[in-house]
Each structure stands twice: as structure tokens, then as C-alpha cells.
């Protein structure tokens, strides 16, 4: 499982890092059941903290209530 920025293709040059900008798309490449969440970004920040477990797996650490991702339901703990 890994995430790429601005491309749905498997491109090791476009891996997710600390460089997420306002116009970027995050594509999660996972194994297992598909989960799709669509978010309309109306604020400057998503209000989302993404971290990793030290073994290359990124996951959603925090989504504060009242933030942009609140309507998406419980997303914290989900792999990205």
C-alpha cells in the first residue's frame, strides 16, 4: 500500500511526502476492499493529519470535528 500525488499510475517518483499542495490529488494504492471518499475542499486546509507507521504505511491520524473532512464520517485510522 502506498500513495501517489497527482497520478493514478504506479510512479515511484510521485510518492506521497510532506509536499501536499492546495491543488494536489492523493491516490491511495491498496489491496483489499475499495473505499472511496469524495470531499469538496472549501477551506485552505483539509484539517487532516497523515502519518506513517515507520514501515511505509500511511494512515489518517487525526480529523478534527467541524473540519473539512467531517462529512466523510470516521476516517481516522484508515489507511491512506
pLDDT of 14 strictly over 50? yes
List the beta strands (DSSP E) in the chain: 2-5, 26-29, 49-52, 58-62
Sign, CA dihedral 30-36-42-43, equals negative
Query: Against a cut of 0.85, is the pTM above it?
Result: no
Mean pLDDT along residues 4-25: 69
For residue range 31-49, what is the model confidence (pLDDT) as tens digits? 677 666 666 666 666 666 7
User: 59, exposed or middle or buried, with CB in 10 Å at 0-12, 13-18, 19+?
Assistant: middle
| Number of C-beta neighbours around residue 48 at 10 A | 20
* 13-21 own/partner pairs: CB under 8 Å, 24+ apart: 16/50, 16/58, 16/80
Amino acid at each position: 500500500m502506498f500513495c501517489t500525488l497527482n497520478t493514478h499510475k504506479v510512479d515511484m517518483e510521485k510518492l506521497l511526502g510532506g509536499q501536499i499542495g492546495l491543488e494536489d490529488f492523493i491516490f491511495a494504492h491498496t489491496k483489499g476492499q475499495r473505499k472511496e471518499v469524495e470531499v469538496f475542499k472549501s477551506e485552505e486546509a483539509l484539517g487532516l493529519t497523515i502519518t506513517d507507521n515507520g514501515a511505509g504505511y500511511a494512515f489518517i491520524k487525526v480529523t478534527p470535528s467541524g473540519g473539512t473532512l467531517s462529512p466523510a464520517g470516521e476516517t481516522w485510522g484508515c489507511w491512506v
